[in-house]
Amino acid sequence: MKKLLVFVAIALLYTSCSKEAASVSEPGKSGSITRFAVYQDFMYVLNLNEVQTYDITQRDRPVLINRLKTDYGLETITIYDNTVFLGSTTALYILNISNPAAPVIQAKTDRLSDFGFSGCDPVVVKGNYAYSTIKIIQNICGNISAESALIVYDISDKTAPKAVGSYALSIPNGLGIKDNHLFVCDEGTDQLRVFDISVPTQLTELTYSVSITDPYDLIIDAERMIVSSKTDFQIFDISDIIQIKKLGQISR
């Protein structure tokens, strides 16, 4: 029964999504920590060092048609404005999918050079800026460091993304955007932290947060948000950012 309730709760967020909707810019719609994405009649699936493209014209018979090699450590994928963004343990990749059957690498950042550290890397995008959390924990991302962070990239030139900000976090996981607010799951502080991104190069963290034990990822759909943790799914009304209301909770 619990599994059925979880399925129904999550399905509610997708009832308005068509095949075309999955192709356009709706950050957070599928969560930020995911290893596959659908665009038109193609599905992109991540291995640790490659992006596999499947033709899904026949839904019951996906066909592998392309492999794009990358450096080792791919973690997450998101599609925004007809562009693919990949998070890896070392970089942010931007893929051109003007030919969706054969993505090509348009740009790649180097976080080790930019910030002196690397780590796990989910990404969300709005306008000309990409937001990425970097979680650095021994034996999870293969690195040891005292710092995890939220990184802001200027992607107005998709061939040359630039890191324009870094904000220290504890143990960040998934993230999502609603209007001019960025929600970040911070497992280290047991909080859903909220940032004002009206000025993307100068983020302001709001003085309030939402307390959640071990938040992992979130899905935002209009005025609703589902946050997953190690033990449950929590559903919130976020129509008023200043007064976020919890609507329900489903145990795993």
pLDDT tens for 109-138 read: 876 555 545 555 789 999 999 999 887 655
Q: How far apart are CA 172 and CA 28, in angstroms?
A: 16
Closest CA relative to residue 174, chosen from 211, 227, 239, 222: 227
Q: Please give the Cα distance from 152 to 131 (Å, whole number).
A: 5
The DSSP code for 135 is B
Q: What are the residue ranges of helices labelled H in the chain?
A: 2-12, 111-115
pLDDT in tens, 174-195: 999 999 999 999 998 999 999 9
Report CA-CA distances (Å) from 145 to 109, 138, 139, 169.
20, 8, 12, 12
The per-residue pLDDT for range 48-80, each reduced to its tens digit, is 899 999 999 998 899 999 999 998 889 899 999
Domain ranges of the chain: 2-251
pLDDT digits (tens, 9 = 90+) for 197-206: 999 999 999 9
Amino acid at 182: L
Rg (CA), the chain: 17
The two tokens of residue 181 are 């607010």
pLDDT average, residue stretch 239-252: 92
- 3-state secondary structure (DSSP) of residue 5: helix
pTM equals 0.82
In whole angstroms, what is the distance from residue 118 CA to residue 149 CA? 10
Give CA separation, 130 vs 5, 11, 41, 79, in Å.
Answer: 33, 27, 25, 11
Taking the CA atoms of 147, 153, 158 and 160 in sequence, report the sign of the dihedral they define. Answer: negative
Which top CATH class is 2-251?
mainly beta
| Residue 95 half-sphere exposure toward CB, CA atoms < 13 A | 26
% of the chain exceeding 70 in pLDDT: 79
- Residue the block writes with tokens 């059957």: 101
pLDDT tens-digit readout, 231-243: 999 999 999 998 9
Cα 87 to Cα 2, 199, 242, distances in angstroms: 32, 23, 30
